[in-house]
């Protein structure tokens, strides 16, 4: 099922939240608003798309813990911070946490907010594609037997079929057949693709000490 990207607004101030939601909708975006981060995480579910607009009350540093948690989630959306606080340290910390934009509530222009949401949607699309690809690869990798995983590690480490056969005390034909099954299970049509997929999966390219 496809889910339409939305600007997920989290603001504990009802008036401010409603005003921001109306503004976002007037720009042509889909919007969903929440009174707290907990409400957002509970109601938005695991199929969130788009971006998160997080309102931080002054002083903004009191909400940095929440921001850190939301940006550390495995499926975290790009975050746009809006705040009344004009202190520099919270802004610096927010940027260090990877927020897409840090806007002053009473002075940002509609254009700057539109651009921030548009850019965040685009980044979420790229992140989501990468996340889904890695999830798919991990599912495929889980279908490999322990022996096939070991052979794949040896291949990534640069071992040829003869070396692998000697290491496992099997024939070269057995190694070749297992490599073919590995490629089929991982959806690799060529050897370079197999190596590229292995790198994406984080399979070590160096032998462990003592092996």
Residue whose token pair is 């496809």 = 2
Length of the chain counted residue by residue = 211
| Beta carbons within 8 Å of 69's beta carbon, 6+ residues apart | 37
User: What CATH code is assigned to 143-201?
Assistant: 1.10.10.10
Q: According to the model, what pLDDT value does residue 182 have?
A: 96
Using DSSP, state whether 7 is helix, strand or coil.
Answer: strand
Q: What is the pLDDT along the chain (211 residues), one digit of tens a residue?
A: 456 899 999 999 999 999 999 999 999 999 999 999 999 988 876 678 999 999 998 877 788 999 999 999 888 899 999 998 888 899 999 999 999 999 988 788 899 999 999 999 999 999 888 888 888 999 999 999 999 999 999 999 999 999 999 999 999 999 999 999 999 999 999 999 999 999 989 887 766 544 4
Query: How many CA within 13 A on the CB side of residue 178?
Result: 22
Residue whose token pair is 């096939």 = 148
Cis peptide before 59 (omega within 30 of 0): yes
Instruction: Give the pTM.
Output: 0.70
User: Domain 6-137 is in which class?
Assistant: alpha beta
Domain ranges of the chain: 6-137, 143-201
Within the chain, where are the H helices? 14-26, 37-44, 64-72, 88-96, 110-141, 146-156, 161-168, 172-186, 191-201
The answer to whether 51 and 80 have CB atoms below 8 angstroms apart is yes
Residue whose token pair is 């079929």 = 161
The answer to whether 46 and 75 have CB atoms below 8 angstroms apart is yes
Q: According to the model, what pLDDT value does residue 207 have?
A: 61
Q: According to the model, what pLDDT value does residue 75 have?
A: 81
Using DSSP, state whether 86 is helix, strand or coil.
Answer: coil
Q: According to the model, what pLDDT value does residue 206 have?
A: 64
Which helix (H) or strand (E) segment is 52 a member of?
Answer: strand 50-56
Q: What is the CB neighbour count within 10 angstroms for residue 198?
A: 21
| Beta carbons within 8 Å of 82's beta carbon, 6+ residues apart | 11, 20, 53, 54, 55, 56, 103, 104, 105, 108
Q: What is the CB neighbour count within 10 angstroms for residue 194?
A: 19
d(CA 149, CA 145): 6
The answer to whether 8 and 50 have CB atoms below 8 angstroms apart is yes
């Amino acid at each position: 099922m496809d889910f339409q990207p939305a600007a997920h607004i989290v603001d504990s101030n009802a008036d401010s939240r409603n005003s921001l939601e109306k503004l976002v909708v007037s720009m042509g975006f889909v919007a969903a608003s929440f009174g707290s981060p907990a409400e957002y995480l509970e109601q938005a579910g695991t199929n969130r798309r788009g971006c998160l607009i997080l309102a931080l009350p002054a002083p903004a540093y009191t909400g940095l813990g929440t921001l850190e948690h939301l940006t550390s989630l495995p499926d975290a959306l790009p975050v746009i911070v809006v705040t009344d606080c004009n202190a520099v340290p919270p802004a610096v910390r927010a940027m260090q946490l990877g927020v897409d934009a840090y806007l002053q509530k009473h002075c940002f222009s509609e254009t700057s907010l539109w651009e921030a949401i548009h850019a965040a949607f685009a980044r979420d699309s790229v992140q989501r594609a990468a996340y889904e690809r890695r999830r798919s690869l991990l599912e495929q990798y889980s279908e490999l037997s322990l022996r096939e995983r070991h052979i794949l590690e040896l291949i990534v480490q640069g071992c040829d079929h003869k070396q692998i056969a000697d290491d496992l005390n099997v024939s070269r034909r057995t190694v070749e057949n297992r490599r073919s099954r590995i490629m089929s299970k991982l959806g690799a049509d060529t050897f370079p693709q197999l190596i590229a997929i292995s790198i994406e999966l984080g399979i070590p390219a160096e032998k462990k000490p003592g092996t």
